[in-house]
Amino acid sequence: MANGLFDNVYNPDVLSCLANLSNDEVFTPPEIVNQMLDMLPQDLFRNPDTTFLDPACKTGVFLREIAKRLIEGLEPQFPDLQERIDHIFHKQLFGIAITELTSLLSRRGLYCSKYPMSEFSVSLFETQEGNIRYRNTGHSWVNGRCKYCGTSKNTVLGSAERGETLESHAYEWIHTVKPEEIWNMKFDVIISNPPYQLSDGGSAGGAMPIYQKFVEQAKKLNPRYLTMIIPSRWFAGGRGLEDFRNTMLNDKSISTMVDYPKSRDCFQGVDIAGGICYFLKERGYEGTCHFTSINLLKSQVLIKRKVIGRKRV
């Protein structure tokens, strides 16, 4: 059933076509995902016990690209392709979708079926969600604001009057004090492109950053490797990002940082003020951060690399 599943998958790649629909929840192009995966030790993809989590699934592209590497890397341990795929999808890959729609899209991208208990799934599960879950989580209001994400009860996004059928943007990953209880398991790698902002109910239609909350929640699980792609606005602080900025700048376990000052060089067609960046945090690493700044100009790649210490800048 799985023979040829991943053959010629990039001709064309629907996830590249979908890659960037808004600057709040930006879909990640496969080439960027693979750049992030290239930062990881590649023996992770040859280990049948390595576990991966995407806590903010949109298209499922992170899990799909990881699956492709595992399918190749685990061939010696699982010569039978179907047995290999079943092991990978059931034991190694896990996701939390940010909306019901993205849960269906992610399952379709990974399992080739919106419902992995159906005959069309490349790996059969006993439930309709497989290992990509979605819960219509609610906000917890304290003095008119959600105590977890900070959104205003009076905004359209957070309105209690929206009902259960409409998306509340109360993302499960950041609306709990114990994210480790969502799956009740440890993860070797947490990798994601989280939502970037939410309306804060201001008169000017402002928005507050929430991507830092996804990073902070991931740290609670203490994975061996943590990598996320987020806006670079935290470099300058402001908008409630001062504590996050100080923590990131003084985190000696961040071994790699890649920055795109112009977000269009990373996400075609999307402008994100301050640019975009991704990082690698390694448990047990203590040292300098290898910082790379990438600028694309008239088909020429101008890459500036430097090693930065841990002094605040």
- The stretches in the chain having pLDDT less than 70 are 1-25, 155-167, 199-206, 297-313
Q: Is 228 left (phi over 0), alpha (psi -120 to 50) or beta?
A: beta
The reported pLDDT for the residue numbered 145 is 87
pLDDT tens sequence across 115-148:
999 999 999 999 999 999 999 888 888 988 888 8
β-bridge mates for residue 307, sequence order: 290
Question: Mean pLDDT of all residues in the chain?
Answer: 84
